[in-house]
């Protein structure tokens, strides 16, 4: 039985992970759970799974949970508490389902503590991919991707000679605005942006899907996960979201991974690898009902965030970190109604243009660039209002 900790257990990926555990109680035991502030749901999860450890990173919410909880679970609080929790010996594998840059330090601490990682967070790799992968190699830690696209690439590359790789074709559904004209973006509502046609995801990642920044972040993520340059990673719009990505080899053969759009499938494989377990709830592709699959080129003019991500991928250094930070700030301001949708890429571009890139950054350089980019993004946004 594999002992797992689910960081971000109250979010979309975290809840899907616990669905997988419910289907295989003889295979997995939840020994750790965490949330930022959703203590009502976390309390229910603690009562159901009885983990050894739980963490609430919002200090005030954590105090309220401790006051009302009667469990024997050991509680941790705050960002430092989360880093402490992932080092506990009883944890074998960490499911990193926290959204955003706050996942970086828990990820590094988990690797340092020799935990295998099921990675559902892309921002940490975007910020510090070379540092993370180097530490994982040193510790001989497996980082198994959970995102459907990265899982597809990982499965297609399994046992293949990387020297024979020609291109990675990273598929994208196109998001909720795929068929909207650019003129419609100016006054688009938050509700319209958050209506994704294929996936049920958190608010931040759904906005990233609408701008195609999510795909740009995945380009950077794939570069670091698979040690592939950005010019070998091609984005293709595939609205049915049945092919989750493809790998093309030098002889012209292309391997693709297909499944229904259900995150429990890649989560389950990340937990069970190298074993494949029965699909009990997610369903399968019915080709007779499907009929056809469609593919389109991404429109870089309508979705400039994708081009900005490729720019950061070519320059590397601290540029990907700055891209991520500027995007996080811009999306947060959009969701608060303080920045319009079309200004998201404008802010990111201005911040990238003002950054003095640091090649081969250390962790302190990454953290410094992240802090600078957030402050600079706020200054840029203030100048637009």
Mean pLDDT of 11-23: 96
Lowest mean pLDDT among 72-81, 180-189, 224-233: 180-189
* CATH hierarchy code of domain 317-385: 1.10.1740.10
Cα 365 to chain centroid distance, Å, stands at: 22
Look at residue 327 in the predicted model and tell me its pLDDT. 98
Does 22 score more than 90 pLDDT?
yes
Residue ranges of the domains in the chain? 2-145, 147-314, 317-385
Could you name the CATH architecture of 2-145? 3-Layer(aba) Sandwich (3.40)
Does 167 score more than 70 pLDDT?
yes
pLDDT, tens only, 41-81: 999 999 999 999 999 999 887 777 766 565 789 999 999 99
Look at residue 72 in the predicted model and tell me its pLDDT. 87
Look at residue 320 in the predicted model and tell me its pLDDT. 98
Mean pLDDT of 275-289: 89
Torsional class of 202: left (φ above 0), alpha (ψ -120 to 50), beta (otherwise) = beta
Burial of 183 (0-12, 13-18, 19+ CB in 10 A): exposed
Mean pLDDT of 8-33: 96
Look at residue 66 in the predicted model and tell me its pLDDT. 66
Look at residue 68 in the predicted model and tell me its pLDDT. 58
Lowest mean pLDDT among 77-81, 123-127, 188-192, 256-260: 188-192
Look at residue 248 in the predicted model and tell me its pLDDT. 97
Mean pLDDT of 271-285: 90
Look at residue 276 in the predicted model and tell me its pLDDT. 94
Highest mean pLDDT among 52-66, 136-150, 167-181, 283-297: 136-150
Look at residue 131 in the predicted model and tell me its pLDDT. 98
Q: What is the mean pLDDT of the chain?
A: 93
Lowest mean pLDDT among 24-38, 144-158, 197-211: 197-211
pLDDT, tens only, 326-356: 999 999 999 999 999 999 999 999 999 999 9
């Amino acid at each position: 039985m594999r002992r797992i900790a689910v960081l971000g257990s109250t979010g979309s990926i975290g809840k899907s992970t616990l669905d997988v555990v419910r289907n295989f109680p003889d295979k997995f035991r939840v020994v750790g759970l965490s949330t930022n502030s959703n203590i009502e749901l976390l309390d229910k999860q603690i009562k159901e799974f009885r983990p050894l450890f739980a963490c609430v990173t919002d200090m005030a919410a954590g105090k309220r949970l401790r006051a009302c909880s009667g469990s024997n679970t050991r509680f941790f609080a705050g960002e430092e508490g989360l880093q402490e929790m992932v080092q506990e010996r009883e944890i074998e594998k960490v499911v990193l389902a926290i959204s955003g840059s706050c996942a970086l330090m828990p990820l590094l601490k988990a690797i340092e503590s020799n935990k295998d990682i099921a990675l559902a967070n892309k921002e940490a790799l975007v910020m510090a991919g070379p540092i993370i992968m180097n530490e994982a190699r040193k510790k001989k830690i497996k980082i198994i991707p959970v995102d459907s696209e990265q899982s597809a690439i990982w499965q297609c590359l399994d046992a293949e000679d990387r020297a024979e790789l020609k291109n990675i074709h990273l598929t994208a559904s196109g998001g909720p605005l795929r068929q909207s004209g650019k003129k419609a973006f100016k006054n688009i509502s938050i509700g319209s942006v958050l209506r994704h046609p294929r996936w049920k995801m958190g608010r931040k990642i759904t906005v990233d899907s609408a701008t195609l920044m999510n795909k740009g972040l995945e380009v950077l993520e794939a570069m670091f996960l698979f040690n592939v340059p950005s010019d070998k990673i091609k984005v293709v719009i595939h609205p049915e979201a049945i092919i989750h990505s493809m790998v093309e080899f030098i002889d012209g053969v292309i391997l693709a991974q297909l499944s229904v759009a259900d995150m429990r499938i890649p989560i389950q494989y990340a937990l069970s690898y190298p074993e494949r377990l029965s699909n009990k709830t997610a369903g399968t592709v019915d080709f007779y009902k499907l009929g056809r699959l469609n593919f389109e080129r991404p429109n870089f003019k309508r979705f400039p965030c994708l081009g900005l991500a490729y720019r950061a991928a070519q320059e590397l250094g601290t540029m990907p970190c700055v891209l991520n930070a500027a995007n996080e700030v811009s999306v947060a301001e959009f969701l608060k109604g303080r920045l319009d949708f079309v200004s998201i890429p404008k802010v990111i571009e201005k911040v990238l243009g003002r950054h003095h890139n640091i090649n081969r950054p250390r962790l302190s350089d990454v953290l410094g660039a992240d802090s600078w980019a957030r402050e600079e993004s706020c200054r840029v946004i203030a100048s637009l209002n």
